[in-house]
Structure 1
Amino acid sequence: MQDQKPKPPAAAGEMLGHPKGLYLLFGTEMWERLSYYGMRGIFVLYLTSAATAAVFGWEQLSDKDLQDKALSYLGWYAMLVYLTPVAGGWIADNVWGQRRCIIVGGLLMMLGQFALGFPHSWLPDGTEIYFLWLGLALMIVGNGFFKPNISTMVGDLYDEGDKRRDTAFTIFYMGINIGSILGYLVVGWIGEKINYQLGFTIAGIGMLLGVILQLLKSQHYLGDIGQKPAARLGLKKSAVDKHKPLTPEERDRIKVILILGLFTVVFWTGFEQAAGSMNLFAKYNTDLHIFGFEIPASWLQMVNPLFIIILAPIMASLWVGLGDREPDSPTKFSMGLVFLGLGFVSMCGAALQIGDSETIKASPWWLVVAYIFHTVGELCLSPIGLSMVTKLSPLRYMSLMMGLWFAFIGIANKGAAEIGKLVGENGPLETFGGVALAAIVAGILLFFLRNKLVDWMHGAEEVHTEVKPTTKEEIGITADHEGTPPRHFSGD
């Protein structure tokens, strides 16, 4: 007999119309994102600082070469962080299950942050660079175990066709961005104003808190979810069934994931300029005095997660309130790409303000406007993408497909680093203008492909289960909480 999909324990209850396990995953992801984004916010600034260059023997490099080296390190790190989830997803599907992978991944990332934060003065001369490589390697492997599996577990909290799933991923995405804000705020301040390596150590402590939370509360709120490898739950009638070929419908749905994955690469190649070229532009070409206070350059990246927290409930309410008029996933993706392009139009304004001058600084408000446009684009694309993967993937390949989705983002991160280097060669106006044009054109192209992609989804975005009175009440509570009136239903 086929195994039943695990469900959260009934005794755990619900909160605001969702299983309480959602908020446990929210909290675990929040601490992990504090660790990741805190480190990311100061990483290129750390590598381009005079003190770090002297320790690593890079002091003979020009400013441009030093920035290119820092972007290369960031690009390789960020790409591998998103590629290793393919292996981590496979291990979760077939060997360990999601929960064990999350714990192992969290511990490895914690150790990686501590390796980056290990004081240079405590190390023999010439060995400092090895701790940099060790720290990055541990965080890359740890992310591979962690990243695909916690997102998959959010989807596992809900039955197929449950209308709360998109809203759940948006709530989960708010946890990601609360962690991002705390990371930029705390780690960014400590790193830029006190000591970069102390900032990495604080990021490691944040990851430790996420692991402790998961260890203490997961059994009560998640029950058996994530305990067994998903492949054992999908098909267990016979050994032959485990190797059953994909059906035509499953193949079509996977094609949708792959095609939208290509457009995802375009989006994140532009979006991830935030940690690289836009971060360096903020540090060296932007007037960082706001209301008479000089802020750390990394704080400008905080605009994105701050506005996600502000806008995420509004966007979720908008999708719920539109009902049958809600745009399909490909349309939302195309909107995200256009908004990304508009953000880079604002960056072109910043580039025009400074011109060729080495003394004129751009207003920080150009970057603020750019990050707001990027935020709207992200909300149209990223949480919808996570939800779409859980809808379209065959159960026995769920974590693997989630890992593949993150691999697309990894390729984009490497591309982002290479494009970021063009700022030093061609100038910010030409580079940012090219990214704006590419994003808007890609968004328009995807809009014209949307109907075919919806056909290949074979109704995955439609309701597959009867909407019962209890479900109506839960959706109403959720919508109410997000600032929109409860939806009304006719009949059971």
Structure 2
Amino acid sequence: MQSLLVLYMTHWLLQPEHIGQVWGLRALERALGNGDMHQSPQKLASYIFGLYAGLAYLTPIIGGAIADRWVGKTRAVIAGAVMMTMGHIFMAFDQTFLIALLFLLLGLGAFRSNHAGQIGALYPAGDERRADGFQLYMFGVQIAGILAPLVCGSLGQNVAWRWGFTAAGVGMTIGLIVYVAGLGTIPVNSAARAGNQPIQLTRHDVRNIVILILLLPVLTLTQLGNQQTFNAYLIWGEANYDLMLFGHALPITWLLSFGAVVSTVVMGLSVAFWRAWARKRPEPSELAKLTIGATFSALAPLALAIATRNAGGPHHVGLGWALAFHVLNNIGFAHSLPVALALYSRMAPRGTCGTMIALCYLHLFAANLLVGWLGGMYEPASAVSFWLWHAGLIAAAAIVLFFVWLVLGGEFASTPQKLTERATAIRSSFEAIAE
């Protein structure tokens, strides 16, 4: 669904002949301070996308806390899946667009952190199969990331927008049925019992939480390039990439499937690389890998700036530049978000894993708000400076992370046993993909 959202708003929903049909949209514009009737559909679409994508990472904080303390992960996941299915159904109608986004946000809040948290519960502490379980789970996520833009994007762009969203709803329904059918294999969640016993935090726990909170603004900047791929990158790609292949124009959403394929290959190679590295020397710490990730992430939008500057006109950027962008971006992503999730989950005090994972996602809330604001400033004539801004902000984050690693690396020291568990978690999480 996300692969269609900005394109749907820009090319259809926010056009003058359709915008008045959307219930509550004018009120939302006024609330955002963007009530100008003459602003471009792309600018408004970017603002709405940024707000939606940001809230999609904020609501899991509430969902994770509710699951940890009261309802349990299983019931939260089921409720979230049902609400997301309803949201996709509402997306098929222009009038209920904002209602659809509300249901999707509520569903994501209940689903996102709790679903991932259930994977670890399948294995006892110290079980080496935990890494394999996460790899299988993330492999499924990768396959979905490849197929969804192909199916939903093709239907949405070539047939009708509503059919693309309907296909997403059908996929969500099938996933919910499979999940419910397999409930007997999932351990019983003890959240209700935990909710009656206040979580006790030690001074060490509080110190770790404070450090992780202070890292959030820096991590926010590292994700600007990756999160922009669902927003202004698609608009830029429509105007600049040469999408003709064997005499046929490729749907722009296929770029996201292309990126997912590149992501699968790159992250598989990353896993192999670090396993080979670990046979001879210790793996870098999480902070070191975050620094590596931010450095590569900064190079990705820099490649787009160079491609735009060298292009002779519209549709003159070859797909080789798309390959370069996605390779650099996914090397960066493999060493940023998955590593951050591994760090936050490892340092979570007992009984707060769901909440801490959701806290980690908070930097993506801020990143998407910033992405929406930056995307609203995009204009084809200033595309070079647009991507240079992204590269510069991410590079600044890389520099900060480097110094944080030098100064605070000792604060994250682990026992040998915990170090092994951390390395395993990081390797398994490299299979993750940006949403």
Give the aligned residue type for 2:187. Answer: G
- CA 51–254 in structure 1, closer or farther in 2 if over 3 Å, else same: closer
Identity %: 25
1:169, distance to aligned residue in structure 2 (A): 3.9
1:163, distance to aligned residue in structure 2 (A): 5.6
Distance 2:115 2:80 in 1: 11
- CA 255–316 in structure 1, closer or farther in 2 if over 3 Å, else same: farther
> 1:372-401 deviations in whole A, cap 9, x for unaligned?
111111111222222222211012221111
Residues 169 and 386 in structure 1, CA contact (< 8 A), matched pair in contact too:
no
Distance 1:328 1:380 in 2: 11
Partner of 1:232: 193
Residues 180 and 305 in structure 1, CA contact (< 8 A), matched pair in contact too:
yes
- CA 45–425 in structure 1, closer or farther in 2 if over 3 Å, else same: closer
Partner of 1:463: 417
1:158, distance to aligned residue in structure 2 (A): 4.3
Residues 160 and 465 in structure 1, CA contact (< 8 A), matched pair in contact too:
no
CA RMSD of aligned residues (A): 2.8
User: Aligned with 1:362: secondary structure?
Assistant: coil
- CA 98–298 in structure 1, closer or farther in 2 if over 3 Å, else same: same
Q: 1:223 aligns with which of 187, 194, 212?
A: 187
Distance 1:322 1:350 in 2: 34
Name stretches of at least 5 consecutive residues in structure 1 with no aligned partner.
1-38, 119-127, 468-474, 483-492
Partner of 2:310: 353
Distance 1:385 1:155 in 2: 16
Distance 2:209 2:304 in 1: 36
Distance 1:397 1:107 in 2: 25
Q: 1:371 aligns with which of 326, 331, 335?
A: 326
Distance 1:108 1:142 in 2: 5
1:331 and 2:288 are equivalent in the alignment: yes
Partner of 2:24: none
Residues 216 and 360 in structure 2, CA contact (< 8 A), matched pair in contact too:
yes
- CA 381–165 in structure 1, closer or farther in 2 if over 3 Å, else same: farther
Distance 1:378 1:367 in 2: 16
1:258, distance to aligned residue in structure 2 (A): 2.1
Distance 1:465 1:352 in 2: 45
Distance 2:212 2:160 in 1: 42
1:295 and 2:256 are equivalent in the alignment: no
1:154, distance to aligned residue in structure 2 (A): 2.2
User: Aligned with 1:417: secondary structure?
Assistant: helix
Distance 2:222 2:391 in 1: 10
Residues 163 and 463 in structure 1, CA contact (< 8 A), matched pair in contact too:
no
User: Aligned with 1:117: secondary structure?
Assistant: coil
Name stretches of at least 5 consecutive residues in structure 2 with no aligned partner.
22-35
Q: 2:298 aligns with which of 341, 345, 350?
A: 341
Q: 2:70 aligns with which of 87, 90, 95?
A: 95
Distance 2:377 2:289 in 1: 30
> 1:86-143 deviations in whole A, cap 9, x for unaligned?
110111011111111001000100100100113xxxxxxxxx43x0011000000000
Give the aligned residue type for 2:297. Answer: L
1:385-464 matched pairs, under 5 angstroms: 385-424=340-379, 427-459=382-414, 462-464=416-418
Distance 1:454 1:423 in 2: 38
Residues 295 and 332 in structure 2, CA contact (< 8 A), matched pair in contact too:
yes
1:274, distance to aligned residue in structure 2 (A): 0.4
Distance 1:285 1:420 in 2: 16
Q: Given the two structures, how large is their TM-score scaled by the length of structure 2?
A: 0.86
- CA 331–176 in structure 1, closer or farther in 2 if over 3 Å, else same: same
Q: Given the two structures, how large is their TM-score scaled by the length of structure 1?
A: 0.76
1:181, distance to aligned residue in structure 2 (A): 0.8
1:326, distance to aligned residue in structure 2 (A): 0.7
Of 144-153 and 46-55, the range deviating more from structure 2: 46-55
- CA 320–218 in structure 1, closer or farther in 2 if over 3 Å, else same: farther
1:305, distance to aligned residue in structure 2 (A): 1.6
Distance 2:364 2:408 in 1: 20
Give the aligned residue type for 1:250. Answer: D
Residues 67 and 76 in structure 2, CA contact (< 8 A), matched pair in contact too:
yes
1:305 and 2:280 are equivalent in the alignment: no
Partner of 2:33: none
User: Structure 1 stretches (4+) deviating beyond 6 angstroms?
Assistant: none
Residues 289 and 295 in structure 1, CA contact (< 8 A), matched pair in contact too:
yes
1:116 and 2:77 are equivalent in the alignment: no
1:465, distance to aligned residue in structure 2 (A): 10
1:141 and 2:106 are equivalent in the alignment: yes
